[in-house]
Amino acid sequence: MLLTDAHCHLDFPDFDSDREAMLQRAREMGVRRFILPGTTTATWQRTLDLAASHADIYPCLGLHPYFMEEHREEHLADLEQVLIAHPEVVAVGEIGIDFWNSPSQKEKDRQWTLFDAQLKLAKQFNLPVVLHIRKAMDEVTQRLRQLQLPQGGLAHAFSGSQQQAEKLVELGFKLGLGGALTYPRAQKLRRVAANLPVSSFLLETDSPDMPLNGQQGQRNEPANIPQVLKTLAKLRQVDEQQLAGELEKNIQNLLQLP
């Protein structure tokens, strides 16, 4: 069974002590491809280097809204240049809008400016995007509808309603399902996962974050993808092997992996 972790930060320092062993554990569990989103200009080279040294790791590059204090306007030009120089980049991301901590209007405006510019770069380079959306789902969806990205993207760690999910899927987006799905209390998310077409989803861990049910407080890692698959198969009452095959087609179609 071939599985892909569609969103994992394996370049983070959390894995510096055992990165190769962690990757090997994942491969032994059938996870054979890893999609790494970039977050800041300071970390892009680390993401690219890790992908260059592992044939099963695929890089994305972007300016993450959580790290606004690290971003500068000139970093957008840097992103354009690095996308030109690195055709192996499979998506623009992780980008998005994060209103979790009730930022000021000035900070919200900064986020929108950065987000809009990166969406335009994705359109320019004909690449999908990897989205981080917190407390701004409807506004982001409206922006995506206005821009009409040709390649869609991944709505990472989706946690919205079925109606919000359907709108994103209509726009060519896949919804990332990870550790949150394994919590029995996540009833809204579980209903979305059970009801939408399987073509709507990808599996992800967001490692080292978003631990699975029963692993609270522990470092997450890609070897947990089969547990997310098992949960999704149970919710949809389908065979795991068949579901895995369909999910792999989804990520293949989205990212055009070799």
pLDDT for 143: 96
Q: What is the pTM of this model?
A: 0.97
pLDDT for 258: 76
**Domain holding 247: CATH number?**
3.20.20.140
pLDDT for 190: 98
Q: Are the C-beta atoms of 132 and 94 separated by less than 8 Å? A: yes
Distance CA 26, CA 21 (A): 9
Q: What residue numbers bound the domain in which 128 lies?
A: 3-255
Tokens 């991301």 — which residue? 93
pLDDT for 34: 98
Distance CA 24, CA 46 (A): 20
pLDDT for 78: 98
Distance CA 70, CA 161 (A): 32
pLDDT for 140: 98
pLDDT in tens, the chain (258 residues): 899 999 999 999 999 999 999 999 999 999 999 999 999 999 999 999 999 999 999 999 999 999 999 999 999 999 999 999 999 999 999 999 999 999 999 999 999 999 999 999 999 999 999 999 999 999 999 999 999 999 999 999 999 999 999 999 999 999 999 999 999 999 999 999 999 999 999 999 999 999 999 999 999 999 999 999 999 999 999 999 999 999 999 999 999 987
Q: How many domains does the chain have?
A: 1
Bond preceding residue 166 cis, omega within 30 of 0: no
Distance CA 166, CA 187 (A): 17
